[in-house]
Structure 1
Amino acid sequence: MRIKFLDWYLKIAVGSALIGGSMEMFMIKTGFYDKVTVLESEKRAWESSPEAQTIREALNPWRNHDAQERKNS
Protein backbone atom coordinates (compact mmCIF):
# COMPACT_ATOMS: atom_id res chain seq x y z
CA MET A 1 0.00 0.00 0.00
CA ARG A 2 1.36 3.35 -1.03
CA ILE A 3 1.22 6.25 1.43
CA LYS A 4 -1.05 8.97 0.18
CA PHE A 5 0.29 12.53 0.20
CA LEU A 6 3.88 11.44 0.94
CA ASP A 7 5.24 14.63 -0.62
CA TRP A 8 3.26 16.78 1.84
CA TYR A 9 4.63 14.83 4.79
CA LEU A 10 8.16 15.27 3.51
CA LYS A 11 7.67 19.01 2.96
CA ILE A 12 6.28 19.42 6.47
CA ALA A 13 9.18 17.43 7.97
CA VAL A 14 11.82 19.45 6.09
CA GLY A 15 10.11 22.75 6.93
CA SER A 16 9.89 21.84 10.61
CA ALA A 17 13.55 20.85 10.69
CA LEU A 18 14.57 24.14 9.07
CA ILE A 19 12.49 26.20 11.49
CA GLY A 20 13.82 24.30 14.51
CA GLY A 21 17.40 24.60 13.32
CA SER A 22 17.06 28.32 12.72
CA MET A 23 15.61 28.81 16.20
CA GLU A 24 18.55 26.93 17.73
CA MET A 25 21.05 29.01 15.75
CA PHE A 26 19.33 32.21 16.85
CA MET A 27 19.53 31.16 20.51
CA ILE A 28 23.21 30.23 20.17
CA LYS A 29 24.13 33.46 18.35
CA THR A 30 22.32 35.71 20.87
CA GLY A 31 23.84 33.98 23.92
CA PHE A 32 20.51 32.70 25.20
CA TYR A 33 21.95 29.53 26.73
CA ASP A 34 24.68 31.44 28.58
CA LYS A 35 22.13 33.80 30.11
CA VAL A 36 19.85 30.95 31.15
CA THR A 37 22.76 29.08 32.74
CA VAL A 38 23.71 32.13 34.83
CA LEU A 39 20.10 32.75 35.89
CA GLU A 40 19.58 29.12 36.89
CA SER A 41 22.78 29.03 38.94
CA GLU A 42 21.79 32.25 40.73
CA LYS A 43 18.33 30.83 41.43
CA ARG A 44 19.74 27.60 42.87
CA ALA A 45 22.25 29.51 45.00
CA TRP A 46 19.49 31.70 46.42
CA GLU A 47 17.16 28.75 47.05
CA SER A 48 19.81 27.04 49.18
CA SER A 49 20.53 30.19 51.21
CA PRO A 50 19.33 30.50 54.83
CA GLU A 51 17.09 33.44 53.92
CA ALA A 52 15.21 31.39 51.35
CA GLN A 53 14.78 28.49 53.77
CA THR A 54 13.38 30.86 56.40
CA ILE A 55 10.92 32.32 53.90
CA ARG A 56 9.90 28.82 52.75
CA GLU A 57 9.22 27.73 56.33
CA ALA A 58 7.31 30.94 57.08
CA LEU A 59 5.07 30.47 54.05
CA ASN A 60 4.23 26.85 54.89
CA PRO A 61 4.03 26.40 58.66
CA TRP A 62 2.09 23.10 58.39
CA ARG A 63 4.77 21.35 56.37
CA ASN A 64 6.11 19.23 59.24
CA HIS A 65 2.84 19.02 61.15
CA ASP A 66 2.00 15.48 59.97
CA ALA A 67 5.45 14.17 60.85
CA GLN A 68 5.20 15.59 64.38
CA GLU A 69 1.75 14.05 64.88
CA ARG A 70 3.07 10.62 63.91
CA LYS A 71 5.91 10.94 66.42
CA ASN A 72 3.50 11.93 69.20
CA SER A 73 1.09 9.04 68.61
Structure 2
Amino acid sequence: MKFVDWYVKIAVVSAAIGGSMEYFMIKTGFYDKVTVLESEKRAWENSPEAQAMREALNPWRNTDTNARKPS
Protein backbone atom coordinates (compact mmCIF):
# COMPACT_ATOMS: atom_id res chain seq x y z
CA MET A 1 0.00 0.00 0.00
CA LYS A 2 2.19 2.71 -1.36
CA PHE A 3 -0.25 5.61 -1.44
CA VAL A 4 -2.33 5.09 1.70
CA ASP A 5 -1.70 8.61 2.98
CA TRP A 6 -2.87 10.06 -0.34
CA TYR A 7 -6.11 8.03 -0.20
CA VAL A 8 -6.70 9.14 3.38
CA LYS A 9 -6.27 12.79 2.40
CA ILE A 10 -8.70 12.40 -0.48
CA ALA A 11 -11.23 10.69 1.81
CA VAL A 12 -10.95 13.44 4.45
CA VAL A 13 -11.32 16.23 1.89
CA SER A 14 -14.29 14.49 0.26
CA ALA A 15 -16.00 13.98 3.62
CA ALA A 16 -15.43 17.65 4.52
CA ILE A 17 -16.90 18.83 1.22
CA GLY A 18 -19.90 16.51 1.56
CA GLY A 19 -20.48 17.58 5.15
CA SER A 20 -20.34 21.26 4.25
CA MET A 21 -22.84 20.71 1.45
CA GLU A 22 -25.22 18.93 3.83
CA TYR A 23 -24.81 21.72 6.39
CA PHE A 24 -25.58 24.34 3.74
CA MET A 25 -28.70 22.48 2.61
CA ILE A 26 -29.96 22.12 6.17
CA LYS A 27 -29.31 25.79 7.02
CA THR A 28 -31.02 27.10 3.86
CA GLY A 29 -34.13 24.94 4.33
CA PHE A 30 -33.50 22.94 1.18
CA TYR A 31 -34.95 19.71 2.58
CA ASP A 32 -38.12 21.43 3.77
CA LYS A 33 -38.69 22.95 0.33
CA VAL A 34 -38.05 19.64 -1.43
CA THR A 35 -40.43 17.82 0.89
CA VAL A 36 -43.21 20.29 0.11
CA LEU A 37 -42.55 20.14 -3.63
CA GLU A 38 -42.51 16.34 -3.66
CA SER A 39 -45.77 16.11 -1.72
CA GLU A 40 -47.42 18.57 -4.12
CA LYS A 41 -46.10 16.58 -7.07
CA ARG A 42 -47.45 13.30 -5.69
CA ALA A 43 -50.81 14.89 -4.91
CA TRP A 44 -51.02 16.16 -8.49
CA GLU A 45 -49.96 12.81 -9.99
CA ASN A 46 -52.74 11.06 -8.08
CA SER A 47 -55.43 13.57 -9.05
CA PRO A 48 -58.14 12.74 -11.62
CA GLU A 49 -56.97 15.62 -13.84
CA ALA A 50 -53.46 14.20 -14.06
CA GLN A 51 -54.80 10.71 -14.77
CA ALA A 52 -56.99 12.04 -17.58
CA MET A 53 -54.06 13.99 -19.04
CA ARG A 54 -51.80 10.94 -18.84
CA GLU A 55 -54.35 8.80 -20.67
CA ALA A 56 -54.96 11.46 -23.31
CA LEU A 57 -51.26 11.93 -24.03
CA ASN A 58 -50.43 8.23 -24.28
CA PRO A 59 -50.67 7.27 -27.97
CA TRP A 60 -50.17 3.57 -27.19
CA ARG A 61 -53.01 3.24 -24.68
CA ASN A 62 -55.15 1.12 -27.01
CA THR A 63 -52.38 -1.01 -28.51
CA ASP A 64 -52.89 -3.98 -26.20
CA THR A 65 -56.67 -3.95 -26.43
CA ASN A 66 -56.60 -3.73 -30.24
CA ALA A 67 -54.05 -6.54 -30.49
CA ARG A 68 -56.14 -8.86 -28.31
CA LYS A 69 -59.43 -8.32 -30.12
CA PRO A 70 -60.37 -11.23 -32.33
CA SER A 71 -60.95 -10.23 -35.95
2-structure distance, mates of 1:65, 1:36: 37
**Residue 48 (structure 2) pairs with residue 50 (structure 1):** yes
Secondary structure of the equivalent of 2:61?
Answer: coil
Secondary structure of the equivalent of 2:37?
Answer: helix
Question: Structure 2 counterpart of 1:27, which letter?
Answer: M
TM-score (norm 2): 0.88
Gap runs ≥5 in structure 2: none
TM-fit CA distance, 1:68 = 5.0
Q: Which runs of 4+ in 1 moved over 3 A?
A: none
TM-fit CA distance, 1:64 = 4.0
Q: 1:24 matched to which residue of 2?
A: 22
* 1:1-73 correspondence to structure 2 within 5 Å: 3-67=1-65, 69-70=67-68, 72-73=69-70
Identity of aligned residues (%): 79
Structure 1 vs Structure 2 CA RMSD? 1.3
TM-fit CA distance, 1:6 = 1.2
Gap runs ≥5 in structure 1: none
Secondary structure of the equivalent of 2:60?
Answer: coil
TM-score (norm 1): 0.86
For these two proteins, the number of residue pairs brought into alignment is: 70
